[in-house]
Copies of this chain bind each other. A is one copy, B any other.
Amino acid sequence: MAVVVLLSDFGLEDPYVGLMHCVLAGISPEARVVDFCHSVPAQDVEGGAWLLGSAVDYVPQDAIVVGVVDPGVGSTRRSILVRTDKVFLVGPDNGLFTKWYEFDPPKEAWVLENAEFHLDRVSATFHGRDIFAPVAGWLAEGKDPKFFGPKVSLKSLERLDLPRMRVFSDKVEGQILYSDSFGNLVTNIERGKVPADARGPVRVCGRELPLVRTFADVSKGAVLAYFGSMGLLEIARRQGSAADLLAARRGNRVQLFFGEAS
């Protein structure tokens, strides 16, 4: 059974996500559709790229991943289908899949030019419903990618220049990516690129924080740093909002010191 995974910035207040589900159910009634996240901040392609990157390890093999954060809808940006080792990616060619490509590189790509697999009337503002959902539905039904449009070079795929962490002899340096709804600050410092025995402290917004394993390691109200469930360094406040307390914003510098050898 095909699994279709959806990410968008539509939120759940409006019927937009529901309309994509309706179109998918009409074309591929047997496919299983999973809402990964529809709360990407509006038109925040970079935020969507980080969130998609955090899902690579958890999305099922051979899933069809539809991403719709699409400020350029109705302009000249291309609509694409990308095959990787793990999944198919469907969405606008605006860099939304940048982080996914990093973990699971593109192997083939097509431009979705064949209107036969779009809805009869394609609006200028909602390709999620009119192009991406139907293409995902037909893919779920087993249609070969070559029918959706001409192949394009992998080099031509749009990629964002995302902020990268920098590794020094005594520390790594990155930045705040976004705040989740609890006020936890997610950074671009990846656990896999930090020495396993790094001990902290962490410096951010003029503060020095302990590097701990989990919330329970500090007292209530204290601010802490830890590697979160996405494998990224996070800054949080136990029973509070670190984002509010630190008045932190995307792009603020974060330093993780390795500390003395143990």
**A-side interface residues toward B, CB under 8 Å?**
1, 3, 5, 11-19, 21-23, 25-26, 29-30, 32, 34-39, 42-43, 51, 54-55, 58-61, 63, 72-75, 123-126, 129-130, 180-182, 213-216, 226-229, 239
Interface of A (DSSP majority class): loop
Whether A213 pairs with B124 at a CB distance below 8 angstroms is yes
Instruction: Taking A14-B37, A26-B60 as given, write out 19 further A-B residue pairs in contact, using a Cβ cutoff of 8 Å, ordered by the A residue number.
Output: A1-B29, A3-B25, A3-B26, A5-B18, A12-B12, A14-B39, A14-B182, A15-B36, A15-B55, A17-B35, A18-B36, A19-B58, A19-B229, A23-B58, A25-B32, A74-B216, A75-B216, A123-B227, A124-B214
Question: What is the count of identical protomers in the complex?
Answer: 3
Q: Which residues of B contact A55 (CB under 8 A)?
A: 15, 18-19, 22
Q: A58 touches which one: B3, B22, B42, B182 (CB < 8 A)?
A: B22
The complex places the Cα of A1 from the Cα of B227 at a distance, in Å, of 37
Q: Which residues of B contact A63 (CB under 8 A)?
A: 22, 25
The complex places the Cα of A38 from the Cα of B14 at a distance, in Å, of 8
